[in-house]
Amino acid sequence: MWRPRVIARPSLSCLGKAGACFTHPRRCGTVLGLSTLTIGLTILAFKLVADSVGSRLPLANWIMIVPPVTLIQLLPISLAGWGCEKWYW
C-alpha cells in the first residue's frame, strides 16, 4: 500500500536540515562563500583548459559564459525520448 507520509518524511527531514543552514548568518556565509569559491574554480578550470588547447578568450568572457552553461547542463532535456534510457552493455 502506498503511504505518502512514509515516503515524504525523509524528504521533509532533509529540507528541514537544509533550511537550518540558512537560519544562522555564520552558516549562511560559509555556504555562500564555498559556493562562490566552487563557481570561481570552475570558471578558472574552463579558462585553463581552453588556453591549453589554443583558445585565447579573456577571463571576462569565461565569467559570462560558464555559469549559464553549467546551469543549462543540469536541465533534464531529451529529444524525442533519446537520453532517457540507461544502456546496459
Decide if 47 contacts 59 (C-beta within 8 A): yes
Residues 17, 7: Cα–Cα separation, whole Å: 17
Does any domain span residue 33?
no
Question: Is the per-residue pLDDT at 76 higher than 80?
Answer: no
pLDDT at 67: 93
Looking at residue 53, what DSSP letter applies?
Answer: T
Decide if 46 contacts 70 (C-beta within 8 A): no
Does any domain span residue 53?
yes
- The tally of domains found in the chain comes to 1
User: Residue 65: which pLDDT band, with cuts at 50, 70 and 90?
Assistant: very high
The residue that leads in pLDDT, 51 or 6, is: 51
The residue that leads in pLDDT, 88 or 17, is: 17
Does any domain span residue 15?
no
This prediction's pTM: 0.63
Three-class DSSP category at 82: strand
Three-class DSSP category at 79: strand
Decide if 67 contacts 39 (C-beta within 8 A): yes
